[in-house]
Chain A
Amino acid sequence: MSQRIPVTELAADFRSRATTALADDQLRTNFRTAMDSLIKKRADAFPDEQEREGLRELGNRIKARALSRLPDLLEQLEAKLTENGVTVHWAETVEQANRIVHGIIEARNGRQVVKGKSMVSEEMEMNDYLARRDIECLESDMGEYIVQLDGEKPSHIIMPAIHKNARQVSRLFSEKLDEPATDDVNELIQTGRRTLRRKFMEADVGVSGVNFAIAETGTLLLVENEGNGRMSTTVPPVHIAVTGIEKVVQNLRDVVPLLSLLTRSALGQPITTYVNLISGPRKPEELDGPEEVHLVLLDNGRSGAFADAQMRQTLNCIRCGACMNHCPVYTRVGGHTYGEVYPGPIGKIITPHMAGLNQVPDHPGASSLCGACGEVCPVKIPIPQLLQRLRQENVRNPAEPQVVKGGGSKYSRTERMIWQGWQLLNTRPALYGLFLRAATRLRRLTPKNAGPWTRNHSAPVPARRSLHELADAHLRQRGDQ
């Protein structure tokens, strides 16, 4: 089964993909409806503004504290997990992580893998990697299952198939699974469930992500609503958890507010249906659980973000998706337009460290900096500030050393000269005055076609007299100037 996302192959750049998405009325309705509903759910989950703000502040501080001690916490986590019987693996790149996962599966002669929802496994393109080695890796999260069936990639980090409505899923199921067409969501879920139940029993290895890795107790915490996470982590004889190094927190006490922030910000839930705390493989006296548990800790550029005091804040992210739910750009263009694993505002600020800013040069600019993302972020990542920072990195002279991987790819001598001219105009009052005079006196000469602006607007005709002139005359009359 092809795992490639078809949409990225349509167009190479964000703008072209966005243009295609904007013309798709069905897609826009699907996203708008879904995002509106999520915005409302989140708002309802935080009825008390003061409590919400206090909790966000706390969440921010907990993550900042954890990050300030990241190396120590990771070592503590490794020691504690090892003590609990979990094997810990370190991977600097996705290639290394995939090799580790493949090695574990090979050691058991595994051929079938069932996977709970994990964005890090998407980052690794694990399904692809294993498929090329004749290992079937089946997604067990309903949304992930749907996108996998259609050969797509997730369009949202917590609701992977949110770009499809029930009718589209029904069509997919009847095409791929020979199921009778139905728009009934429950029936569709039952269809998926029947297929997946069998797979859970057959699988040699279960793979999952991790929401929080707790250093003090060596516990892997995983939240989910469908039970597939628990099935994937307990039914197959081997469980491999994959996660980014930024998921480590100090202790269980820290998890309580973070968990509350996560579930309320994501789906407006006070708590998820399942909260799994995984502390090791099956013990001799226990009846169920995997015989082996592994944790793969992936860097993939995160240490690069960590090294920059400002960009380090991206590692606060607990992957709730609230920023994309509230983003006016994401709502209109959908997740696939971003062409990367992590879409939306958070994707824009974490992808540069993973892929290089030159791989996503249009992302920082694809924002009106409206601030809706930063306003809802449960751990207070100043997303607009970081987007602004990435815009600076984008236009840095390529001859200079780059601070962010792949910086400087938007450098343009012409554009720099335009801004130099703009600077001159706005720092020389006489010149600025002359400009105002010319622009107002020659207002009728304003071109009807002013490039991209006049695609959406009438030509911007200056006023007859500038405020400088009007105010001057007014104050002179008053005898001031």
Chain B
Amino acid sequence: MNELFYDAAPNATRVAPDRPKPRQYPDKPAEVVLFGTCVVDLFFPEAGMDAIRLLEWEGIRVHFPREQSCCGQPAWTSGYRDQAKAVARAQLEVLDRSGFPVVVPSGSCAGMLRHHYRELFADEPDTLARVNALAERTFELTEFLLRVCKVRLADQGQPRRVALHTSCSARREMDTHLHARELLGQLDNVERVDHDHESECCGFGGTFSVRMPEVSGAMVMDKTRALMDSGAVEMVTADGGCLLNINGSLEKQQQAFRGRHLASFLWERVNTRARKGAV
């Protein structure tokens, strides 16, 4: 029986990698790159623009390299490692060209850049060094605004009650789930209300939503019900994937309730011109 083991890797004492907590944040940089993410690119471009506007409002010069596309996550979570790696490598090339900090208006894509690229390139020591450097300068939008820019938001809007949906990646991979809360907390006229099972997944999970539509559908049904029952007039989230899932479901259900990207919501609250639709 024991001989079964002697051939096996003898030195595997690996433990789950620890993420440095809490993250150390640098001073506010003069220039950043916005990594738009494919979902925002195609479905919520205004959210991406509002992220740019918020960053520029902070006096930061924002770059948007045209060669960027998708972070590679859909293939990665579907088990297609080689394809994910090829796409990740292309993004790495683009983002390395300037070397500026990278801001991502989506928790799951930020998590891909910051954590999963390391897994993808674990077998390429030379690339791994660049991947680690990229991970170090990758920030999810809310954490960047709050911790790096140290924004103080002056609310220009009318009283409004909102629910906040935090993506699982933001919560569990990026540890940024309290940042959006804190940003909303800075807005004097905004009341954030809790919703039932708030920390539970909305059911998106990328290709999970089409591979297991019954289970995913049950999850998003519960999530949208909880959001509508919360007493909020709208939902805000800093993740494009969740937004696509939740809004798509609400529309299918023919509900008037909708979610909005947090970047758009914040920009509207702090900028009076945006509220009038002048920008």
Question: Is there an interface contact between A480 and B16, defined as CB atoms closer than 8 Å?
Answer: no
Question: Is there an interface contact between B5 and A306, defined as CB atoms closer than 8 Å?
Answer: yes
Instruction: Label chain B's interface by main secondary structure.
Output: helix
The distance in angstroms between the C-alpha atoms of A481 and B46, with both chains bound, is 19
Given A365-B208, A392-B81, A462-B42: A426 and B201 interface contact (C-beta under 8 Å) = no
Question: Is there an interface contact between A60 and B16, defined as CB atoms closer than 8 Å?
Answer: yes
The distance in angstroms between the C-alpha atoms of A372 and B177, with both chains bound, is 14
Given A303-B5, A309-B12, A453-B209: A374 and B172 interface contact (C-beta under 8 Å) = yes
Question: Is there an interface contact between A471 and B64, defined as CB atoms closer than 8 Å?
Answer: yes
Question: Is there an interface contact between A427 and B87, defined as CB atoms closer than 8 Å?
Answer: yes
A26 close to chain B: CB less than 8 A: no
A65 close to chain B: CB less than 8 A: yes
Interface footprint category on A: 35 or more
Chain A residues with Cβ under 8 A from B212's Cβ? 15, 18, 365-366
Question: Is there an interface contact between B213 and A455, defined as CB atoms closer than 8 Å?
Answer: yes
B63 close to chain A: CB less than 8 A: yes
The distance in angstroms between the C-alpha atoms of A332 and B197, with both chains bound, is 13
A367 close to chain B: CB less than 8 A: yes
B233 close to chain A: CB less than 8 A: no
Given A64-B14, A309-B12, A458-B251: A429 and B67 interface contact (C-beta under 8 Å) = yes
A279-308, CB under 8 A of B: which get 1 and which 0? 000000000000000000101000100111
Chain A residues with Cβ under 8 A from B81's Cβ? 392
Question: Is there an interface contact between A423 and B75, defined as CB atoms closer than 8 Å?
Answer: yes
Question: Is there an interface contact between A426 and B70, defined as CB atoms closer than 8 Å?
Answer: yes
Chain B residues with Cβ under 8 A from A309's Cβ? 9, 12, 14
Q: Which of A61, A65, A71, A481 contacts B6 (CB 8 A)?
A: A71
B162 close to chain A: CB less than 8 A: no
Question: Is there an interface contact between A71 and B220, defined as CB atoms closer than 8 Å?
Answer: no
Q: Which one of A131-139, A141-149, A259-267, A380-388 is at the B interface?
A: A380-388
Q: Which of A297, A368, A374, A422 contacts B208 (CB 8 A)?
A: A368
Question: Is there an interface contact between B16 and A381, defined as CB atoms closer than 8 Å?
Answer: yes
Question: Is there an interface contact between A457 and B86, defined as CB atoms closer than 8 Å?
Answer: no
Question: Is there an interface contact between A474 and B79, defined as CB atoms closer than 8 Å?
Answer: no
How many A-B residue pairs lie within 8 Å, measured between CB atoms? 236
B234 close to chain A: CB less than 8 A: no
Chain A: which residue is nearest B245 at the CB level?
A457
- Minimal beta-carbon separation of B127 from chain A (angstroms): 15
Question: Is there an interface contact between B16 and A328, defined as CB atoms closer than 8 Å?
Answer: no
Q: Which of A67, A303, A393 contacts B4 (CB 8 A)?
A: A303
List A447-466 residues whose CB lies under 8 Å from chain B.
Answer: 451-458, 460, 462-463, 465-466
List B1-22 residues whose CB lies under 8 Å from chain A.
Answer: 1-2, 4-16, 18
Question: Is there an interface contact between A470 and B173, defined as CB atoms closer than 8 Å?
Answer: no
Question: Is there an interface contact between A303 and B215, defined as CB atoms closer than 8 Å?
Answer: no
B23 close to chain A: CB less than 8 A: no
The distance in angstroms between the C-alpha atoms of A472 and B66, with both chains bound, is 8
A467 close to chain B: CB less than 8 A: yes
Q: Which of A74, A299, A391, A433 contacts B77 (CB 8 A)?
A: A391
- Minimal beta-carbon separation of B256 from chain A (angstroms): 13
Chain B: which residue is nearest A385 at the CB level?
B119
Question: Is there an interface contact between A328 and B252, defined as CB atoms closer than 8 Å?
Answer: no
Q: Which of A74, A333, A440 contacts B2 (CB 8 A)?
A: A74
Question: Is there an interface contact between A452 and B213, defined as CB atoms closer than 8 Å?
Answer: yes
Q: Which of B12, B200, B249 contacts A456 (CB 8 A)?
A: B249
Chain B residues with Cβ under 8 A from A329's Cβ? 215, 219
Question: Is there an interface contact between B75 and A422, defined as CB atoms closer than 8 Å?
Answer: yes
The distance in angstroms between the C-alpha atoms of A460 and B244, with both chains bound, is 8
The distance in angstroms between the C-alpha atoms of A308 and B216, with both chains bound, is 31
Chain A residues with Cβ under 8 A from B13's Cβ? 64-65, 67-68
What would 28 A/B residue contacts be, using CB atoms closer than 8 Å? Answer: A71-B2, A71-B6, A74-B2, A75-B2, A92-B1, A313-B16, A332-B218, A364-B79, A372-B172, A375-B172, A380-B15, A388-B77, A392-B81, A395-B80, A419-B78, A426-B87, A427-B69, A427-B86, A440-B42, A452-B209, A455-B213, A456-B213, A463-B46, A467-B36, A467-B40, A467-B48, A470-B48, A471-B49
In the A-B complex, the 8 residue pairs with the closest CB atoms: A368-B205, A457-B248, A391-B79, A370-B201, A467-B45, A458-B251, A371-B172, A456-B217
